Structures are given as C-alpha cells and as structure tokens.
C-alpha cells in the first residue's frame, strides 16, 4: 500500500509536470493565435481603407479622362485656328510695286530697331540691378 501511495504520488507529480508543460505550450500558442487575429483584423481594416481610396482615385481618374476627351477636340480646333491665323499673318502679297518694297524695308528696319531697343533695355535693367545690389551692400554695414 505504501508503494502504491508512493507510485500514485509520483504519478500525480508526473501528470502535473506534463499538464504544466502542455498548458504552457497551449498558452503560448493561444497568445500567438490571438496576436495573429489582431494583426489580421488590422490588415483587413487597412486593406478596406486602401480599396476605398483606390475606388475614389478610379472615379477621379475617370472624371479627368472624360474631361480630357471632351477638351481634346476643342484644343485641336483652337490649334487649327491659330495655325490658319499664323499663316495668314505671314503671307506677304506678291507685288512689284515700289510702295510694297519700301513698306517691307520699313517694317524690317522697325523690327531691327525694336530688337536693338530690347537689348538696350535689358542692359539698362542689368545695370540698375547691379546698382541696387551695390546700394544694398553699402547700406548693410550702416544698419549693423
């Protein structure tokens, strides 16, 4: 009987050790499953948000594409009109009259002088900018 009591006590201890180890492993697995469930729920939420944003972007893209398709013919028509206008402006009447030759010469001279005036004005602008910077440098030490 004493042997049976010792055997039963030993058996109870072994069962408790095994139960403890099994409980510990199942608790670790349960924690991992719980963490994975939370991560999965977070991923689902983020995926739903991304899908919603993607649908909005698709809608915006569809609207922009429709507007572009609507505007392309108008832009093409305007480009055609501009080209026609450019061609009509660049056409010079073919005539041998001395007045037209003189008019062309005057126009070319005016264009040349306008180009020279633009160059001079650009030079004056650079000169004034240099003067302004020099004045700023002179004023800076006084202010400090």
pLDDT digits (tens, 9 = 90+) for 61-112: 888 888 888 888 888 888 888 888 777 776 655 566 788 778 888 888 888 8
Query: Residue 19 pLDDT > 90, yes or no?
Result: no
What was the pLDDT predicted at 48?
94
**Distance (Å, whole) CA 135 – CA 133:** 5
Per-domain boundaries in the chain: 96-144
pLDDT, greater one: 6 or 94: 6
Query: Residue 143 pLDDT > 60, yes or no?
Result: no
Conformational region of residue 116, where left means phi above 0, alpha means psi within -120 to 50, and beta covers everything else: alpha
What was the pLDDT predicted at 94?
59
What are the b/e assignments for 91-108, b being 16+ CB within 10 Å? eeeeeeeeeeeeeeeeee
User: Would you place residue 18 in the very low, low, confident or very high pLDDT band (cuts 50, 70, 90)?
Assistant: confident
Work out the average pLDDT over 113-136: 86
- This prediction has a pTM of 0.39
Work out the average pLDDT over 16-23: 75
């Amino acid at each position: 009987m004493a042997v049976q009591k010792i055997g039963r006590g030993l058996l109870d201890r072994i069962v408790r050790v095994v139960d403890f180890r099994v409980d510990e492993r199942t608790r670790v697995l349960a924690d991992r499953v719980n963490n994975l469930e939370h991560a999965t729920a977070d991923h689902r939420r983020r995926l739903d948000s991304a899908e919603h944003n993607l649908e909005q972007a698709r809608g915006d893209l569809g609207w922009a594409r429709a507007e572009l398709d609507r505007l392309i013919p108008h832009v093409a028509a305007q480009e055609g009109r501009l080209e026609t206008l450019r061609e009509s402006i660049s056409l010079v009447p073919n005539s041998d009259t001395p007045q037209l030759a003189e008019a062309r010469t005057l126009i070319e001279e005016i264009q040349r002088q306008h180009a020279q005036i633009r160059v001079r004005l650009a030079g004056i602008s650079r000169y004034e900018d240099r003067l302004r910077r020099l004045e700023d440098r002179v004023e800076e030490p006084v202010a400090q």
